Amino acid sequence: MENQCCAVRPRHSPVRGRLGGLAGWLGSAAGLALMPKCPACIAAYLALGTGVGISLSAAAHLRTAFMVAGIGLLVGFTVLLLRGSFLSRHQRFRA
Protein backbone atom coordinates (compact mmCIF):
# COMPACT_ATOMS: atom_id res chain seq x y z
CA MET A 1 0.00 0.00 0.00
CA GLU A 2 1.37 3.37 -0.97
CA ASN A 3 1.34 6.21 1.55
CA GLN A 4 -0.05 9.45 0.18
CA CYS A 5 0.92 11.60 3.14
CA CYS A 6 4.19 12.77 1.63
CA ALA A 7 2.86 13.47 -1.84
CA VAL A 8 3.59 16.98 -3.04
CA ARG A 9 0.45 18.95 -3.71
CA PRO A 10 -0.17 22.66 -3.83
CA ARG A 11 -1.34 24.20 -0.57
CA HIS A 12 -3.42 26.96 -2.10
CA SER A 13 -4.73 27.62 -5.53
CA PRO A 14 -3.27 30.65 -7.34
CA VAL A 15 -6.69 32.30 -7.50
CA ARG A 16 -7.19 31.91 -3.76
CA GLY A 17 -3.77 33.43 -3.09
CA ARG A 18 -4.49 36.42 -5.33
CA LEU A 19 -7.90 36.96 -3.75
CA GLY A 20 -6.35 36.85 -0.29
CA GLY A 21 -3.72 39.39 -1.33
CA LEU A 22 -6.38 41.61 -2.86
CA ALA A 23 -8.49 41.40 0.31
CA GLY A 24 -5.48 42.35 2.42
CA TRP A 25 -4.69 45.25 0.10
CA LEU A 26 -8.27 46.53 0.22
CA GLY A 27 -8.42 46.13 4.01
CA SER A 28 -5.22 48.11 4.48
CA ALA A 29 -6.39 50.84 2.13
CA ALA A 30 -9.76 51.07 3.90
CA GLY A 31 -8.02 51.23 7.27
CA LEU A 32 -5.84 54.12 6.13
CA ALA A 33 -8.80 55.94 4.59
CA LEU A 34 -10.99 55.56 7.69
CA MET A 35 -8.27 56.34 10.24
CA PRO A 36 -8.92 59.54 12.20
CA LYS A 37 -6.51 62.25 11.10
CA CYS A 38 -6.34 64.36 14.26
CA PRO A 39 -4.60 63.14 17.45
CA ALA A 40 -7.51 64.31 19.62
CA CYS A 41 -9.90 62.00 17.77
CA ILE A 42 -7.54 59.05 18.17
CA ALA A 43 -7.20 59.76 21.91
CA ALA A 44 -10.99 60.05 22.25
CA TYR A 45 -11.68 56.81 20.32
CA LEU A 46 -9.09 54.98 22.39
CA ALA A 47 -10.62 56.30 25.61
CA LEU A 48 -14.13 55.36 24.50
CA GLY A 49 -13.13 51.91 23.27
CA THR A 50 -10.79 50.81 26.05
CA GLY A 51 -11.23 53.26 28.91
CA VAL A 52 -7.54 54.18 28.69
CA GLY A 53 -6.68 57.85 28.24
CA ILE A 54 -3.50 58.97 26.50
CA SER A 55 -1.94 62.36 25.87
CA LEU A 56 -2.23 64.15 22.55
CA SER A 57 1.48 63.69 21.83
CA ALA A 58 1.19 59.94 22.45
CA ALA A 59 -1.87 59.86 20.17
CA ALA A 60 0.12 61.67 17.45
CA HIS A 61 2.89 59.08 17.71
CA LEU A 62 0.30 56.30 17.64
CA ARG A 63 -1.27 57.81 14.51
CA THR A 64 2.13 57.96 12.82
CA ALA A 65 2.85 54.35 13.76
CA PHE A 66 -0.52 53.20 12.37
CA MET A 67 0.07 55.11 9.14
CA VAL A 68 3.55 53.65 8.69
CA ALA A 69 2.22 50.15 9.40
CA GLY A 70 -0.68 50.63 6.98
CA ILE A 71 1.56 51.91 4.20
CA GLY A 72 3.99 49.06 4.85
CA LEU A 73 1.17 46.53 4.57
CA LEU A 74 -0.05 48.16 1.35
CA VAL A 75 3.41 47.95 -0.16
CA GLY A 76 3.81 44.34 0.99
CA PHE A 77 0.46 43.21 -0.38
CA THR A 78 1.10 45.07 -3.64
CA VAL A 79 4.43 43.30 -4.05
CA LEU A 80 2.79 39.94 -3.37
CA LEU A 81 0.03 40.63 -5.88
CA LEU A 82 2.44 41.78 -8.57
CA ARG A 83 4.87 38.95 -7.90
CA GLY A 84 2.06 36.39 -8.16
CA SER A 85 0.76 37.80 -11.43
CA PHE A 86 4.29 38.10 -12.85
CA LEU A 87 5.16 34.52 -11.89
CA SER A 88 1.93 33.12 -13.32
CA ARG A 89 2.53 34.98 -16.60
CA HIS A 90 6.16 33.87 -16.69
CA GLN A 91 5.21 30.22 -16.10
CA ARG A 92 2.56 30.39 -18.84
CA PHE A 93 5.17 31.46 -21.37
CA ARG A 94 7.61 28.75 -20.27
CA ALA A 95 5.17 25.88 -20.73
The pLDDT of residue 30 is 85
Give the whole-angstrom CA distance, residue 78 versus residue 86: 12
Give the whole-angstrom CA distance, residue 89 versus residue 26: 23
95 residues of the chain, pLDDT tens digit each: 555 555 555 555 666 666 766 777 788 788 888 888 899 999 999 999 999 999 999 999 999 999 999 899 888 888 877 876 666 666 655 55
Q: pTM of this prediction?
A: 0.61
The pLDDT of residue 90 is 60
